[in-house]
Amino acid sequence: MTPPTDPGVTVVVVAGGDPPTPEEIARLPANPVVVAADHGLDHAVAAGLTVAVAVGDMDSVSSEALAAAEQSGTRVERHPPDKDQTDLELALELAARLADRVIVIGVGGGRLDHLIGNLTVLASPAWAGIDIEAWLGDAQAVVVHGHRALEVEPGTTVSLFALGGPARVTTTGLKWPLSNEVLDPLTSRGVSNRATTPSPGIAVSEGVVLAVIPHP
């Protein structure tokens, strides 16, 4: 199966961490283009998602899920186990060529080093022209290159983290605003802000920011 290349299409990347929750599956756009990263194929099949492409070294996917996907027409892109990129990074590289918005699910849980690596790779400058967010069950992580309006209601906690170096940030609709100020990655200044208006805005003129939104 060859995925469409319509730039308006949202691509859903299913990672191999904790299985996505039923609530996350229900929130996905209708008929999404789905890319599964290795064991994420098991999660996607279990959730009833139609996978366009499965990518990775396939060292943790079940033989049953792999066989079912191949039988249904899923394209499988295999990579050697000794590689420089994680399976999620390979999936994002593919997804970035297909659409202008990427939602990553199944990224939480498991090993701490995997979680840290997964969250940092989301902010790679390679995907600077794409809106990327990760859903982690009890939280959402939104990458901000340039400007992003957060889909939250007043009173929602919003924490901002500069990744890869200092970021120059301006915010609107947050209780403690930043006005063209530098957010350093080695401080906790951006932790536990609060939305005061619907859809607060984050503008980043230098660097990249990860906005983390815990869900009650």
Give me Rg for the CA atoms of the chain. 17
Q: What is the pLDDT of residue 132?
A: 95
Mean pLDDT of the chain: 90
For a pLDDT cut of 90, what percent of the chain falls above it? 70
Q: Which H or E run contains 11?
A: strand 10-14
216 confidence band (pLDDT: 50, 70, 90): low
pLDDT, tens digit, 9 for 90 and up, residues 68-122: 888 889 999 999 888 888 899 999 999 988 888 999 999 887 678 888 888 899 9
Task: Give the SS3 label for residue 23.
Answer: helix
Higher pLDDT, 6 or 83: 83
Q: What is the pLDDT of residue 3?
A: 41
Handedness of CA 139, 50, 19, 66 (dihedral sign): negative
Walk me through the domains of the chain, giving residue ranges and CATH numbers: 1-137 (3.40.50.10240), 138-216 (3.40.50.10240)
Higher pLDDT, 59 or 156: 156
Distances (CA, A) of 19 to 10, 46, 61, 92, 135: 20, 9, 13, 18, 11
Judged against a pLDDT cut of 90, whether residue 188 lies above it is answered with yes
Contact in structure between 135 and 44 (CB atoms under 8 Å) = no
Q: What is the pLDDT of residue 111?
A: 77
pTM over 0.75: yes
Judged against a pLDDT cut of 70, whether residue 6 lies above it is answered with no
Rounded to whole angstroms, the Cα distance separating 25 from 75 reads 22
Q: What is the rounded end-to-end Cα distance, in angstroms, of the chain? A: 39
pLDDT, tens digit, 9 for 90 and up, residues 168-182: 999 999 999 999 999
Provide the β-strand partners of residue 185. Answer: none
Contact in structure between 54 and 88 (CB atoms under 8 Å) = no
Q: What is the pLDDT of residue 124?
A: 92
